[in-house]
Structure 1
Amino acid sequence: MTHVVTQPCVGCRYTDCVVVCPVECFYEGEKMLYIHPDECIDCEACVAECPVEAIFHEDNVPAEWQSYIAMNAEQAPQSKVITEKKKPLVDS
């Protein structure tokens, strides 16, 4: 099982979640973050840290954001791992 970054992250890309991840499974896309499903250990540490409530367990992703499950799986391996907090896009 894994957690998934969904629509509220698009255009925000806060990185508070990244610094609490014990396995470094977050990846930085141009407009949002992704969680690599093969690396996530389902610890839930990131969920409480997301200021826009964009992270869900894959079994609890709202219906309108179900496409983000596949998007995270496809985009994470193509993106660069992120392990440190950065300035969010919304403040750019």
Structure 2
Amino acid sequence: MKKYKARFTPETSRIIAHLPPETKRLIRASIDELTSQPFKEDELQMELSGFRSLKPKRYRIIYKVNEVDSSIDIYYVGLRKDVYENFRRLLEKWKSEG
């Protein structure tokens, strides 16, 4: 089975760096598993179309699969309760920055 390489946005790296150690382990283990099965999760809808969301416990990992270079781009990590709204805001910020 083909293994994909995980790449992180600077924002995601900062978020993960500030998580408690146990949560970091959960997120890293989930991403490691994802590199073997990147299409396991359904694609998100509407303005988040093209992104996918992995759901380890109370957290969500928002990512895109790049088949051209066999990579998974990890865009955002956060708690389920507000992850999608926070990610939408971040997308708007990125779009306004060009």
Same fold (TM over 0.5): no
Structure with more of its chain in strand, by fraction: 2
- Of structures 1 and 2, the one scoring higher in RCO (CA 8 A, sep 6+) is 1
Larger radius of gyration: 2
